[in-house]
């Protein structure tokens, strides 16, 4: 009953079919891995050079309000441009629509620490309770 094995002077049938099941299983696993890892990344769509850290959080990021500060000093709340004057109200609106009190700050590595502290203070006054700083893993 094997391929090309003779039994009692008769030739066994040669099986010429290719079993596609293992190939399909592997492709589905790769597709699932790709879908899971691509949805993990937080993308603001802005050109911000995030600093890197050896202790950057691995795995899935918690959803929250994303505040971005680029190297020119422009502010963005969830991808929408904001001024320092309107920042508190924009953060408050974003926090209520997000349904949680988490603020994720991503700033260009050339941005000012003083600006970062101002933004965190404004976010606290807008109702934020938890903060995270976005960083690339080294």
Residues in the chain where the model's pLDDT stays below 50: 1, 59-62
Q: Which of 16, 12, 62, 22 is CA-nearest to residue 42?
A: 62
What is the torsional sign of CA 119, 120, 124, 127? positive
Torsion-angle region of 127 (φ positive above 0: left; ψ -120 to 50: alpha; else: beta): left
End-to-end CA distance of the chain: 56
**What integer pLDDT is reported at residue 61 of this predicted model?**
47
Q: Which of 58, 49, 54 is CA-nearest to residue 138?
A: 54
d(CA 97, CA 103) in angstroms, rounded, equals 13
**What integer pLDDT is reported at residue 59 of this predicted model?**
45
Residue 64's alpha-carbon distances to 17, 35, 96, 100, in angstroms, are 52, 20, 10, 7
Radius of gyration, CA atoms only, the chain: 26
**What integer pLDDT is reported at residue 38 of this predicted model?**
67
**What integer pLDDT is reported at residue 26 of this predicted model?**
93
**What integer pLDDT is reported at residue 138 of this predicted model?**
63
Q: Which of 126, 128, 132 is CA-nearest to residue 50?
A: 132
**What integer pLDDT is reported at residue 60 of this predicted model?**
45
Residue limits of CATH 3.30.420 in the chain: 52-137
**What integer pLDDT is reported at residue 27 of this predicted model?**
93
Q: Which of 92, 63, 69, 67 is CA-nearest to residue 77?
A: 67
Quickly name the fold that domain 52-137 has: Nucleotidyltransferase; domain 5 (3.30.420)
């Amino acid at each position: 009953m094997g391929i090309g094995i003779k039994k009692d002077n008769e030739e066994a049938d040669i099986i010429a079919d290719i079993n596609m099941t293992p190939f399909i299983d592997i492709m589905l696993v790769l597709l699932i891995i790709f879908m899971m890892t691509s949805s993990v990344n937080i993308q603001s769509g802005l050109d911000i050079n995030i600093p890197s850290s050896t202790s950057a959080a691995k795995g899935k990021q918690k959803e929250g309000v994303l505040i971005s500060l680029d190297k020119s000093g422009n502010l963005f709340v969830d991808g929408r441009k904001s001024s320092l004057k309107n920042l508190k109200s924009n953060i408050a609106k974003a926090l209520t629509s997000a349904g949680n009190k988490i603020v994720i700050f991503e700033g260009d590595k050339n941005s000012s620490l003083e600006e970062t502290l101002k933004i965190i203070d404004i976010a606290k006054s807008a109702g934020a309770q938890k903060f995270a700083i976005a960083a690339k893993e080294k």
